[in-house]
Amino acid sequence: MVKNDDFLEYQIEKALERSETVEEYQKIIRIALGKWLSNLQSGEIKLTSVSDLKVLIEADLMLKEIEE
């Protein structure tokens, strides 16, 4: 029984760590997306260079799938 409790505790700990990591990645993506939008509004980025935005959106969607 102790082994099962230890294993369950280990699984819970790993799930919490993974959740925290995903949250940190999402924060980074939100910050990067905000900076990208700011640069777009200021004219530093032209609409012809949307590949960075695409990568950020895809990364955000991937992290949302991990959370579910």
Residue-wise pLDDT for 18-28, tens only, equals 888 888 988 88
d(CA 58, CA 31): 15
pLDDT at 1 over 60: no
**Tokens, residue 40:** 């777009």
- pLDDT, position 62: 86
The mean per-residue pLDDT over the stretch 31-39 comes to 87
Which structure tokens are listed for 61? 């969607």
pLDDT score recorded for residue 47: 65
Domain ranges in the chain? 21-67
Distance CA 51, CA 57 (A): 10
pLDDT tens string 44-61: 877 676 787 888 888 888
pLDDT of residue 42: 93
